[in-house]
Amino acid sequence: MEGAGAAAAQPPSAHPAVAPLAFLLGKWCGEGEGSFPTIAPFRYGEELLFSHHPSKPVISYTQRTWKAASGEPMHAESGYWRPRPDGSVEVVISQSTGLAEVQKGSYDAEKKTVTLQSELVGNASKVKHITRAFQVVNGDLSYVVQMATITTGLQQHLKALLKKI
Ligand code: HEM
């Protein structure tokens, strides 16, 4: 069965809704730097996993971080990404700090970019607004996270560069 053999050699295809964001799928690992006007800068290690099942129009997302110097666990978060055919995407994220985010934004499958702005930040004592921007360049995933708090306007908090593993 030549046809069946050829099909078996292909990786499982993504759900049509997820296909434009296939550039994110997989496990990524690397390092980042954290900063904000009110805190001391810090370096962290990070692992991101974007996974999906071909029968569902959704990407599962998990992230964990650790102190670059000692390996001690830091922040972690997980959620779901729901891309839509019109180029929009909505994301829900729950953070290990208890904060909950609903993010809305857009993706560009050609440029391999996703930009998100918080529509809702819940259960946060200080955070008012969060933006996230992702880009795959030369096979590497980079992102920038900005936040606004009750004392400080929108500024960068996180920046990282991750490799596919
Ligand atoms: C500090 C929010 C992700 C590590 C803070 C502060 C806020 C915050 C509100 C306090 C700022 C202030 O007091 O003015 C967030 C949000 C995140 C996020 C909304 C995700 C969207 C992370 C991640 C890490 C991290 C991924 C670690 C890799 C830290 C550290 C501090 C901090 C080390 C300083 C704590 C201190 O000095 O006591 N973050 N954070 N954050 N964050 Fe994040």
pLDDT in tens, the chain (165 residues): 444 444 455 556 899 999 999 999 999 999 999 999 999 999 999 999 999 999 999 999 999 999 999 999 999 999 999 999 999 999 999 999 999 999 999 999 999 999 999 999 999 999 999 999 999 999 999 999 999 999 999 999 999 999 999
Instruction: Collect all residues with Cβ–Cβ distance below 8 Å to 2 and sequence separation of at least 6.
Output: none
- ipTM (interface pTM): 0.98
**Cα 119 to ligand 1 centre (Å):** 19
Instruction: Collect all residues with Cβ–Cβ distance below 8 Å to 151 and sequence separation of at least 6.
Output: 38, 126
Question: Cα angle at 136 between 76 and 62, to 5 degrees?
Answer: 20
| 49 and 165 Cβ atoms separated by less than 8 Å | no
pTM for the whole thing? 0.94
Q: Please list every protein residue whose CB sits less than 6 Å from any atom of ligand 1.
A: 34, 36, 38-39, 42, 44, 65, 74-75, 99, 126-127, 130, 145, 147, 149, 151-152, 157-158
**Cα 69 to ligand 1 centre (Å):** 17
Token pair 């992230």 is found at: 63
Rounded to whole angstroms, how far apart are CA atoms 82 and 60?
Answer: 9
In this prediction, residue 13 carries a pLDDT of: 84
What token pair was written down for 137? 């360049």
| 48 and 25 Cβ atoms separated by less than 8 Å | no
